[in-house]
Structure 1
Amino acid sequence: MKRKSLIILALLLPLQIIFIKIIANYPRFVETWYSKILYPEISRIMRMSLGILPFSLGDFLYAFLIILLIRWLIIRIRQRFKNPKKWLLEALATLSIIYACFNIFWGYNYYRLPLHQSLGIENEYSTEELIKLTESLISRSNSIHSELAENDSVKIDMPYDKNELFNITIEGYTNISNEFPELIYEGESLKRSLYSIPLSYMGFNGYLNPLTNEAQVNTIIVPYKIPTTASHEIGHQLGFAKENEANFIACLATMNHPDPYFKYSGFTFALSYCLNELYRRDKDKAEKIMETIHPGILANYREVQEFWIDHQNPFEPMFQVIYNRYLIANNQAEGMKSYSYVVALLVNYFEDPESRFQL
């Protein structure tokens, strides 16, 4: 690449950062022009073109970029980092291109309107409202568990293989697209991650590749968690970049799913968020209310917990810190703590649980 082009690309990097800082103050503009007009077309084209591949092109792209980075570092070390004007310019130009692709292909969604504003609901709630929803979720979860299990002490195992789980996941979005047209999912691109083992030791269920718009799922996690994980990643694909909002959408997609096993995964997923928040607010009430949950549901929770305990490693906290910083850098000021926003969305969306739960 010519030096003049490198200089232009390098100078565009700080300009892009300044532009992001400015546009973050105009979420309605981002919502209207990017998230609802430009991005859906970008996403649909990428999904329809890459979704036909039986493997994740994005995973190979990551591997290719890492190999190039290692090669670049080896060359720089051998040359003892001589001629910094040249290699620093090349590095900044490359970062500028990657940063532009990240934002244009997906990243601007971080700066759209908060989901509670899009839905026209509140984002505050009382402990009494939380208790009401938690009790409704327990009742519904227990009921579905009774339909699927021989007795209330048996944990639920998914009767599908992992490819079937992916195919069935998509039905949940078909089911809710009437109420939420922005959740119409065409051109499926939901794939197994090639890095499922390292992801497990890093503490992650899955991820979206923003450069290819492919949704990757860690398929060695407990199968009971795959429906909500896959639904979460599809939520990202549809333009809901924030983790808490994608989790809420995963709840909607699975709780409204026609398949009872997916319903069970969704209701118990939503319940786990409410229980954690209630435990933080009123420990005694949380412990008392947990006594009403079927032991089989608690067994499913323990199964997930034991999986992550088995896959702990000394470096996991470092990966979590890095990801937390990533969230903060992308308009999620509270980092991983912002996941509690899921409860606010659930409580206010299901303000009348009995009518909403006629699913």
Structure 2
Amino acid sequence: MKWNRRRKILVVFLVIVVAVQGIGGLGDYYAQAVYPCVATVLTFLSGYVPFAIGDLFIALSIIGIVAFPFYAVRRKNKTVGYAIAGVGEYLLWVYVWFYLAWGLNYAQSDFYHRSHTPRYEANNDQLRYFAWRYADSLNANYSKTAIYDTLRVPSLVVAGYKRLAQQNMGVHAPFHVHTQAKTMLFTPLSSKVGVTGSMGPFFCEFTLNGDLRAHEYPSTFAHEYAHLLGITNEGEANFYAYQVCTSSADRTMRFCGYYAIFFHVLRSVDAVLGDEAAEDFLQYVRPEIRQMASADRNYWRSKYSTWLGNLQNAVYEFYLRTNRVDGGRKSYSQVVALILSWEQRQGQMQRR
């Protein structure tokens, strides 16, 4: 293929990406009609590889981007301009691949529009009622003798997402019956920046941090699985993970689902109802669960690097803002508002 022809194809792809992002309705068409086909193929192919191809691809790309200019100029006697142009074109191909393979899901409508759920603004009393009712469920599903069997998690999560799809909750049904979560190739680095899971968009695979504790595994798996199904907003991924886990017949799955949003609920109570209410809420939760939460924080803090974490947070915040994710990294905590809106809608439907 000639150089000019390759560039023309690249321009066409770039126009498609920009058009889908900018023209209303095209994002939803991509998410509903195109992405399931792309994901089905890529997930099927990447599933045969036991390690995270995306992690390796990103690492090799970084090495190549750094090394290519030196190779082109010193070994091939090319100009600096040629080297820069080569790196620039490669980055544009990566950009196109990212968006066509998964990233254009950012252009789809949000949960409220996809599921036809009115956005619900709870008052103080309603938030208090939800928080204490949530704490009752969290306490009731805790067990000192619980065994967290991670081998059962994939099938339970797949079954859970099938249920959500049947309820028209704005998420696809699973593309494959058997879905594999791969371990991050660079787990120690991921722990240093506070990343417990990630979606690999280039090959439609998702990875989990190898340092995850057993009781964190189910909700993290379900969260990243939501991304695999085309959900880009972090709060929505938390919401779907919560719904999948807490509706499971398996008690340990239910507890993991409730526990996963514990800090989000606590922050919401503190922000809206004040410090005293937050302390009352905290004391209402079983002491064993509070000890678990404290141990988890200490566990991850022992692995965390402040300067690397701050750098990663800044980069990820820029990435989310660039892709028009409302609230940036704060979107994780939108899960409480999503749960309240969905429950309000369900209550209205039952009263009809």
Structure 1 segment 1-359 matched on structure 2, within 5 A:
2-5=2-5, 7-8=7-8, 15=15, 18-19=18-19, 22-23=22-23, 26=24, 28-31=25-28, 33-75=29-71, 78=74, 83-123=79-119, 124-145=121-142, 148-149=143-144, 158-160=147-149, 162-180=150-168, 182-187=171-176, 188-281=179-272, 282-313=274-305, 314-351=307-344
Could you say if the C-alpha distance between residues 86 and 355 of structure 1 is closer, same or farther in structure 2, counting changes exceeding 3 Å? same
> CA–CA distance in 2 between the matches of 1:135 and 1:78?
67
Bigger shift: residues 185-194 or 130-139:
185-194
Unaligned runs of 5+ in 2: none
> CA–CA distance in 2 between the matches of 1:351 and 1:270?
19
Could you say if the C-alpha distance between residues 77 and 86 of structure 1 is closer, same or farther in structure 2, counting changes exceeding 3 Å? closer
Could you say if the C-alpha distance between residues 353 and 308 of structure 1 is closer, same or farther in structure 2, counting changes exceeding 3 Å? farther
Q: Deviations over 1:237-285 (max 9, x none)?
A: 1011111111111111111122111100101223432221111122221
> CA–CA distance in 1 between the matches of 2:99 and 2:315?
19
What SS class does the counterpart of residue 249 from structure 2 fall into?
A: coil
TM-score after normalising by structure 2: 0.87
Please tell me the residue identity of whatever aligns with 1:138. Answer: A
Moved over 4 A (4+): 9-18, 76-79, 352-356
Bigger shift: residues 164-173 or 213-222:
164-173
Q: Deviations over 1:261-310 (max 9, x none)?
A: 11001012234322211111222212112211101111221122112210
Could you say if the C-alpha distance between residues 336 and 170 of structure 1 is closer, same or farther in structure 2, counting changes exceeding 3 Å? same
Q: Does the aligned pair in 2 maintain the 1:251–1:269 contact within 8 Å?
A: yes
What SS class does the counterpart of residue 226 from structure 2 fall into?
A: helix
Please tell me the residue identity of whatever aligns with 1:292. Answer: Y
Aligned Cα root-mean-square deviation (Å): 2.8
> CA–CA distance in 1 between the matches of 2:107 and 2:243?
22
Q: Does the aligned pair in 1 maintain the 2:317–2:328 contact within 8 Å?
A: yes
Q: Does the aligned pair in 2 maintain the 1:35–1:239 contact within 8 Å?
A: yes
What SS class does the counterpart of residue 195 from structure 2 fall into?
A: coil
Could you say if the C-alpha distance between residues 250 and 77 of structure 1 is closer, same or farther in structure 2, counting changes exceeding 3 Å? farther
Q: Does the aligned pair in 2 maintain the 1:50–1:189 contact within 8 Å?
A: no
Bigger shift: residues 99-108 or 347-356:
347-356
Higher relative contact order (CA 8 A, sep 6+): 1
Q: Deviations over 1:140-182 (max 9, x none)?
A: 111111xx226xxxxx6x432x444445443432443432484
Could you say if the C-alpha distance between residues 119 and 15 of structure 1 is closer, same or farther in structure 2, counting changes exceeding 3 Å? closer
Match of 1:153 in 2: none
Q: Kindly tell me the number of residue pairs found equivalent between the two proteins.
A: 343
Deviation at 1:115, TM superposition (A): 0.5
Q: Does the aligned pair in 2 maintain the 1:12–1:96 contact within 8 Å?
A: no
> CA–CA distance in 1 between the matches of 2:327 and 2:13?
26
Q: Deviations over 1:211-248 (max 9, x none)?
A: 10001111212221111111011100101111111111
How high is the sequence identity, in percent, across the aligned residues? 20
Could you say if the C-alpha distance between residues 38 and 133 of structure 1 is closer, same or farther in structure 2, counting changes exceeding 3 Å? same
> CA–CA distance in 2 between the matches of 1:125 and 1:70?
51
Unaligned runs of 5+ in 1: 151-155
Q: Does the aligned pair in 2 maintain the 1:222–1:303 contact within 8 Å?
A: no
Q: Does the aligned pair in 2 maintain the 1:56–1:192 contact within 8 Å?
A: yes
What SS class does the counterpart of residue 166 from structure 2 fall into?
A: coil
> CA–CA distance in 1 between the matches of 2:348 and 2:180?
33
What SS class does the counterpart of residue 138 from structure 2 fall into?
A: helix
TM-score after normalising by structure 1: 0.86
Q: Does the aligned pair in 1 maintain the 2:154–2:180 contact within 8 Å?
A: no
Could you say if the C-alpha distance between residues 74 and 130 of structure 1 is closer, same or farther in structure 2, counting changes exceeding 3 Å? farther
